[in-house]
Structure 1
Amino acid sequence: MIVRRFLDEDDELARHLVRQLNTPLDWPEDEGLNTGQVAKIASAAACDVAYNQASNGHLADLFTVLPLPGTPEGDKFWRSLGEAGGDAALYIDPGNAGGPFFDRLVDSNEAGIADRVLSFLGDLDDRQRDAVAEVIGDVLAQERFAGSSRYLGRLWLRDAETTAWYVLLASRKAHETEDDHKRFFEAWGNACVSYAGFRPP
């Protein structure tokens, strides 16, 4: 899934390009790009963590391997998932998480689905998590992925959890300013002096 990205002057990536590469947003205007400049821009984009499109798109991709809502297979799957996950499954149930939530994800509102995924997984007890892994794994095993159903289901849950965390963490960074960055580096730079004589009890 491709999530389109537009730069504006408040964007973390835009600030990075301007600060690190000394490039205005409308650069290079009438001039062409050379290979080195393209490589630097690609590198900056790959390191972009403000909205973290890669994680955002990957989170959506994880849902694409599950049966589609509104189909016979999907209705059976989501009903089974609800039985396995109990009330926690309501966070990602298509009736609650469908409609605008994935649309907003495509429009760069990443936190909505990620929030729901983490709430879902955080509310599962160990027994429910195992049961949910079995339901998801059974579907993935039919897709000819290698591994047992239980293992595949656990992989899906682990991947979804980590990816959702990346998205939320990156969304937080979108609100950080240059002053926030300076305070961070100053605090850690001064820490070696402040904590030099510190010894744990």
Structure 2
Amino acid sequence: MIVNRRVGSEQPDEHDELEQHLVEKLNVPLDWPEDGGLTASHVARIAAAATCDTAYSHAANGHLIDLFAALPLPGTTEGKDFWERIRDAGGSAAWNIHPANMGGPFFDRIHDGNEGGIASRVLSFLEELTPAQRTDLAEVIGSALGNGTIGVSGRYGGELWLRDAEMSAWRVALAGRREFETAQERNQFFEAWRDA
């Protein structure tokens, strides 16, 4: 379900879509619990704030994991051949994502708060590729994608995988910069655009 969520609505008497969803779909009165300190509106605001804060990096990292999960697994016969072909096609850039260099608990580190680790490796990998290497890699990746399960394969499927990985990694990197942004900088941003 996608809802438009305004944090700190300009019209406090109007209920936004998330609040309306809590009422309509979950049968939660907006003043619930009566005489309580925390109401459904408060819960909606907390949920929206948490989503705004974490959605980009968590969702994009999860998507990066899904992209890698669509590829042959390291340690399998098919995976060993696939990852060797990736290394051959991508040259030294491929070491950024090759299991021999990135394997072990690297994906597990996301759970430990290393939100940008995989993203930075994917971005370094793609940045270092020549156009010819990128074309060759698209062919290798596309040949490994299951046409029956994903719907595309071949070079086109590989190109989609590479573009998707690039954009997902970029979203993680972009969301990571927000960790260092202060409330004052956020207000300066809105003021500058308001006064432009």
Where does residue 83 of structure 2 map in the other structure? 78
The offset of 1:51, in angstroms, is 6.1
Give the equivalent residue in structure 1 for 2:117: 112
Residue in structure 2 matching 1:88, options 90, 93, 101: 93
Which ranges in structure 2 are unaligned for 5 or more consecutive residues? 1-6, 10-32
User: Would the aligned equivalents of 1:51 and 1:174 in 2 still touch at CA under 8 Å?
Assistant: no
CA RMSD of aligned residues (A): 2.6
Q: Which runs of 5+ in 1 are unaligned?
A: 1-18, 22-27, 193-201
Kept in 1: contact 2:145–2:153 (CA 8 A): no
1:146-157 correspondence runs (5 A) = 146-157=151-162
Deviation string, structure 1 residues 128-166 (Cα, Å, up to 9, x no partner): 111111111111135532234111111111100000000
CA distance in 1, matches of 2:116, 2:172: 7
TM-score (norm. length: structure 1): 0.73
Contact 2:57-2:175 within 8 A present in 1 as well: yes
Deviations for 1:37-79, whole angstroms, at most 9, x for unmatched residues?
4444443333335762111111111111111111111111100
1:140 equivalent in alignment to 2:151:
no
Equivalent pairs counted in the alignment come to 166
Match of 1:169 among 151, 174, 180: 174
Aligned in 2, Cα 1:35/1:134: closer, same or farther, shift over 3 Å?
Answer: same
TM value normalised by structure 2: 0.74
Q: Read off the aligned partner of 1:171 and give its amino acid letter.
A: G
Deviation (angstroms), 1:174 = 1.1
Percent identical across equivalent pairs?
Answer: 55
Alpha-carbon separation, structure 2, partners of 1:101 and 1:120: 16
